[in-house]
Each structure stands twice: as structure tokens, then as C-alpha cells.
């Protein structure tokens, strides 16, 4: 009986010590910080498409597989990255990018996103896709985004395919990183909105759904101070 009591006391002491250690580790862990690429408003809408209804289907955004996560991934050097477990996007990066781009495009164009929703055939639909090929973060230096995006009309017009490259200087700190990516994405989304307006106006000018028209060019925007521009893909 004395042996059993002694054994139970030792076992209880080990369990209690383990619980205390786990509690100390938990208390010592830094809290996670979450960031979003959403603009939370923005400037007033400019150059909207008027009263004619235009529908868009913003497809899921694709990013390199190493970035398709919630954690922030920052560059250590040209060949090495670091995954930050305690600094995260509010949702997986592809979803953050889609939400941010879609908010700016709809705000600036007046179009309505109908992704996965039923629609009527007599209203023009423009399918928007974005493939983010580079989403680099250099803490205390700059962020860089390179993406190929397209707008595919449902009325027989040729698909507009463009490439955007954005390099935004950032100061130290992860808040600055999130803000830099947010600004770069807003400018890219402004290019997409301009392309959408160009296609919609061309469609309205020709009228017929069977008319195949070619957009003049990608909407070109040059920002020398941030290295942002759009070019027509060959």
C-alpha cells in the first residue's frame, strides 16, 4: 500500500510538472499577427461604365505553390526565403489577392461580380483571370509583384491578355510590407478596370454579339517612382 501511494504521488508530480511546463511555453509564445490586402474603402470611383450593366466573373487567383499559404513568406536573399509562422495573411494569399483586386475593379468600373452565380444571357459577361508569377517581399527594401491577367468577353471579342509588374518601396516592419503589397495590387487592379472599360465600350460601339473586335492595346500605366507598368503579352 505504501509503494502504491508513493508511485501515484510520483506520477501525479510528473503530470503536474508537464502541465505547468506546457502552460509556461504557451504563455511565452508570441501572439500571431494578421494582415489583409483589402483596401477598406479607397478613393472615389472614376470613369465608370455608365448605366449599362456589366457582369464580371473573377476567377480564383493562382500563385506559386510556395506562396499558397496564410503565412508571410519573405526573401532572405535571391535563393532563400523565410516562412513567418507568427505573421500571417487574414486568409490564404490567393484569396487575399482576389478580394483586393476584385474590390478595386468593381469600385472603379461599376461592374458586378457574379462568380458562381446564375446570370441572364443578354447581359455581357467578362471573365477575369490573374496568374501571379512573382510575389516577392524584401523587408525594409521593397515588394515586387508580377502577374499575367486576362479579360475574356462572352460576346465574341478577343480576349485581352496583359502582364503587370509592380515594385513598391517599403520601410521596416510587416505593416509596411502589407501596405506596399496593397498599393501595388490596387494599381494592378486599376489597369484591369481600365481594360474592362475598354472592352465594354468597344462592345457597346459594335453592338452585335457576333462581331469580333480586337482591343487596341493593354491599358498602359507607367509609374516611374514605383516601377509599375503593364505590357501586352505577345
The model's pLDDT over 49-58, given as tens digits with 9 standing for 90+, comes to 544 578 999 9
- For 158-197, the pLDDT digits (tens) are 899 999 998 999 999 999 999 999 999 999 999 999 999 9
Cell triple for residue 121?
444571357
Q: How far is CA 147 from CA 42, 164, 212, 223, in A?
A: 22, 5, 26, 16
Query: Percent of the chain beyond pLDDT 70?
Result: 67
Which listed CATH number (3.40.449.10, 3.40.50.970, 3.40.50.1100, 3.40.50.10610) goes with 32-232? 3.40.50.10610
pLDDT at residue 70, rounded to an integer: 95
- For 106-124, the pLDDT digits (tens) are 999 999 898 867 666 677 8
Helix, strand, coil tally for the chain in percent (to 5): 35, 30, 35
pLDDT at 99 over 60: yes
Per-domain residue ranges for the chain? Answer: 1-30, 32-232
Q: How confident is the model at residue 155 (pLDDT cuts 50, 70, 90)?
A: confident
pLDDT at residue 216, rounded to an integer: 44
Amino acid at each position: 500500500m505504501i509503494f502504491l501511494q508513493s508511485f501515484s504521488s510520483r506520477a501525479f508530480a510528473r503530470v503536474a510538472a508537464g502541465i505547468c511546463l506546457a502552460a509556461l511555453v504557451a504563455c511565452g509564445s508570441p501572439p500571431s499577427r494578421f494582415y489583409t490586402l483589402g483596401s477598406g474603402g479607397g478613393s472615389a470611383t472614376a470613369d465608370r461604365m455608365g448605366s449599362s450593366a456589366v457582369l464580371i466573373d473573377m476567377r480564383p487567383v493562382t500563385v506559386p505553390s510556395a506562396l499558397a499559404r496564410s503565412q508571410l513568406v519573405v526573401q532572405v536573399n535571391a535563393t532563400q526565403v523565410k516562412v513567418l509562422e507568427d505573421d500571417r495573411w487574414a486568409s490564404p494569399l490567393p484569396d487575399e489577392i482576389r478580394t483586393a483586386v476584385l474590390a478595386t475593379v468593381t469600385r472603379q468600373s461599376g461592374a458586378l461580380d457574379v462568380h458562381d452565380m446564375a446570370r441572364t444571357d443578354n447581359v455581357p459577361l467578362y471573365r477575369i483571370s490573374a496568374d501571379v508569377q512573382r510575389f516577392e517581399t524584401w523587408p525594409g527594401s521593397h515588394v515586387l509583384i508580377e502577374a499575367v491577367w486576362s479579360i475574356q468577353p462572352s460576346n465574341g471579342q478577343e480576349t485581352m491578355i496583359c502582364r503587370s509588374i509592380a515594385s513598391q518601396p517599403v520601410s521596416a516592419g510587416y505593416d509596411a510590407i502589407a501596405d506596399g503589397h496593397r498599393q501595388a495590387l490596387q494599381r494592378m487592379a486599376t489597369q484591369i478596370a481600365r481594360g474592362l472599360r475598354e472592352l465594354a465600350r468597344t462592345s457597346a460601339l459594335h453592338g452585335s454579339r457576333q462581331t469580333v473586335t480586337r482591343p487596341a492595346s493593354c491599358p498602359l500605366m507607367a509609374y516611374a517612382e514605383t516601377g509599375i507598368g503593364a505590357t501586352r503579352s505577345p
